[in-house]
Chain A
């Protein structure tokens, strides 16, 4: 385990050194993040200029939700997207052989090898927005709600990770699966609002096949103390099942890999 943590630190530091070679890009990425998050907050404020509550959500809760949305999206763009993207290139070019030869878990290598380090600031920005939202909540947060928030948020990350691992694993059979990921990108946008405002088909899609909806909505509800213990248990079980299934699928896919010229 410590071995893996040491590797992880190594990956992050090399990626950070790489990113800091292009300092203007780094600064521009931050500027873009601030503009994107700022306009999203503005959109919520425009909606709430007409009401104080939207389908049971107050302004404070909506800001929390937006913060969680940027934390989830940031985590996804920080490590999952760059790593899986590179993995798919490896499959296409046959260079995955080199990854498989290394004496570490191959799933670990394809999932956490590459970092878009600047995106860690998107996670921080999401956290800041969340804290601002929490300050605007009517009730103070309790220890229970804070724990529920942390647990459900972690489960949200796991759910998204499992989905992306499954989609990426399909590359073993279909090679070009970038297009499937494009569908994911389109739907992630719907995570900016609580999943319960959407019409049936979209709500179901966002809660099951593309679980961005619950990954964002449940933690935002949890911190406001609106989630009961069975729901937390439910999302924990769902995350465990999703992780196990995706891991089994990954192993199955790995057996289907033949290399570029083998």
Chain B
């Protein structure tokens, strides 16, 4: 498996080198939205004397600066590509290979993030300076937060594939994905840090998987929750990741039975 991954990473690297400029363009989407909502929350906080509950404007900046990085590192876009592969019958040759198609996607995903983070990190630093971001991160937060970040990215990736698998049944994956993304918009920690969501929305957010992809790792990395709470949230991530993997396996095998390429 290690040899396979080495080959796949080399391949992913070569694909990326071919389209260098276009690669960076999509990184813009990682930072525009966090900046928009940071500006909005700072405007709200300033109308309330610079503080909202536990958040000062500097804490809000800290949260959204980390969110830029986490958004970037937990990006998953397989639903768009997979639908195309199914529709065009391009999935068929991949199925014949001894390596599951998901491994191509994993290496491509990681390679893109490694490659484009160079462009995203300076933006995050710039925003941190502009808004005078404050971080209360302890070494323990950093350690737990890093684990949480990997779990969050994995969770986003697995759910991305579950929704991508909808392509086995429908050619309208786009509509399904819009619903998924708008739920994430509200509940993942994009429009607000999770703890600023009003009452019932907060409860829903912690019950759904979206917050564990973005808001949870971002809040831990900025040093928001205390250590026991952080560990509890990581537990929640593990539970959702386990559910996600099981769901993915069920959906994938059911989908494969359903799959018939054009002309097959």
Contacts and interface: CB of A to CB of B under 8 A. Distances in A.
A175 to B, nearest CB: 14
Interface string A177-202: 00100110011011011000111001
Contacts of A190: 32, 35-36
Interface stretch (B97-105, B150-158, B190-198, B241-249): B190-198
A47 B40 contact: yes
B32 A187 contact: yes
B90 to A, nearest CB: 21
Given A39-B186, A54-B44, A199 B36 contact: no
Contact of A36 (B37, B41, B182): B182
B179 A35 contact: yes
Contacts of B25: 179, 182-183
Central interface residue in B21, B42, B44, B172, by most chain A CB within 10 Å: B44
Contacts of A35: 178-179, 182
Interface in B104-136: 130-131
Contact of B201 (A36, A46, A54, A186): A46
Nearest to B53: A50
B22 A179 contact: yes
Nearest to A24: B172
Contacts of B52: 50
B252 interface: no
Nearest to B183: A39
A25 B172 contact: yes
Contacts of B130: 199
B226 interface: no
Contact of B33 (A28, A55, A189): A189
Contact of A54 (B36, B47, B185): B47
Contacts of B42: 197
Given A25-B172, A46-B191, A182 B26 contact: yes
Contacts of A31: 175
Contact of B36 (A36, A179, A182, A193): A193
Nearest to A39: B182
A43 interface: yes
Contact of B47 (A43, A46, A53, A179): A53
A186 B44 contact: no
Central interface residue in B29, B191, B197, by most chain A CB within 10 Å: B191
Interface in A55-111: 55
B144 interface: no
A32 B33 contact: no
Interface in B27-70: 28-29, 32-33, 35-37, 39-48, 52
A254 to B, nearest CB: 26
Nearest to B22: A179
A49 interface: yes
A36 B175 CA distance: 11
A186 to B, nearest CB: 4
Contacts of A39: 182, 185-186
B32 A47 contact: no
A237 interface: no
A168 B48 CA distance: 44
A193 B40 contact: yes
A202 B35 contact: yes
Contact of A186 (B28, B47, B186): B28
Central interface residue in B172, B179, B182, B196, by most chain A CB within 10 Å: B182
Given A39-B186, A49-B198, A179-B25, A55 B46 contact: yes
29 contacts: A29-B175, A32-B179, A35-B182, A39-B182, A39-B186, A42-B186, A46-B192, A50-B48, A51-B47, A52-B47, A54-B43, A55-B43, A179-B21, A179-B22, A182-B26, A183-B25, A183-B28, A186-B29, A189-B33, A189-B36, A190-B36, A192-B36, A193-B39, A197-B42, A197-B43, A198-B39, A199-B131, A202-B35, A202-B39
Given A32-B175, A55-B43, 7 more contacts: A39-B185, A46-B191, A47-B191, A50-B45, A54-B44, A186-B32, A192-B36
The 9 closest A-B pairs by CB, nearest first: A55-B43, A43-B191, A186-B28, A28-B175, A197-B43, A39-B182, A32-B178, A51-B47, A54-B43
